Amino acid sequence: MIITSPAIVVHSLRYSEADLIVSLFTKTSGLRSYLLRGILKSKRGKLRSSLFQPLTILEIQAVHRDKGSLERIKEAKVKTMYKTLHTDYVKSALAFFISEVLKNAIHEEETNTALFEYLETTLLWLDTHNVVRNFHIAFLIKLTQYLGCYPDTSNIESEYFNMLDGVFQSQSNNTYCVNGERVVQLKRFLGTTFEESMDIGLSKNVRSDILAMLLVYFELHLHGFKKPKSLSVLNEIFN
């Protein structure tokens, strides 16, 4: 079956001398992996390796056999050209971090239009805004809405956040119950827009603590999720 769809580059991996395996989150077919033969040596082909930088938004035409194997891309072009995402060093670090999060968090080969539109909208927001110090925090929290594990805020006034159950409660009853400043500040992000989230003042330690807490939360709720290797770089930049 030939499909035409917008797609976001999640991950690319060199395979042999000249091939790439790329994972794309497509609007029509969910997460798919493609084998791009000879792309690293090709100078005249329709596809260029530069198209497959992390989080590039593409328009692709692809052949899907839907047999659980690697699919084939016939054509690809940039759907929306970024202005700063791959040139600004802070945003570039955020892009690598987000692509790692998505690589570990999304596994379904099924349509999820709402998630695709969320990713596209937030990436374009990141590209066009200058104040992005809390972007990764807001991004992760809002991402849980589309992954089915958004925190239950019905008892948000309670002191403890139970990461295992995703609820706020008045007492600690397991090792994944946390409290303190990181929970106080986490509550400020819940229900806010990206613009409002950027105005939340955080010390470098609290920002780092919230991020670490959220990654543990993802590990608890998303099967196979692993802490991104780019975390140390991101913490260094924002600290």
State how far the Cα of 231 lies from the Cα of 237, in Å rounded to an integer: 10
Sign of CA dihedral 84, 86, 92, 98: positive
Residues contacting residue 236 through CB under 8 Å, at least 6 positions apart = none
CA distances from 104 to 4, 128, 170 (A): 25, 26, 32
The pLDDT, as a whole number, for residue 66 is: 77
The pLDDT, as a whole number, for residue 159 is: 97
The pLDDT, as a whole number, for residue 180 is: 96
State how far the Cα of 161 lies from the Cα of 114, in Å rounded to an integer: 27
Q: Are residues 153 and 190 in contact, defined by beta-carbon separation less than 8 angstroms? A: yes
State how far the Cα of 128 lies from the Cα of 33, in Å rounded to an integer: 29
State how far the Cα of 36 lies from the Cα of 185, in Å rounded to an integer: 44
Question: Cβ-count burial of 28 within 10 angstroms (0-12 exposed, 13-18 middle, 19+ buried)?
Answer: middle
The pLDDT, as a whole number, for residue 46 is: 77
The pLDDT, as a whole number, for residue 119 is: 97
The pLDDT, as a whole number, for residue 109 is: 76
Residues (pLDDT < 50) of the chain are none
- In the chain, what are the domains? 2-78 (2.40.50.140), 89-238 (1.20.1440.120)
The pLDDT, as a whole number, for residue 44 is: 65
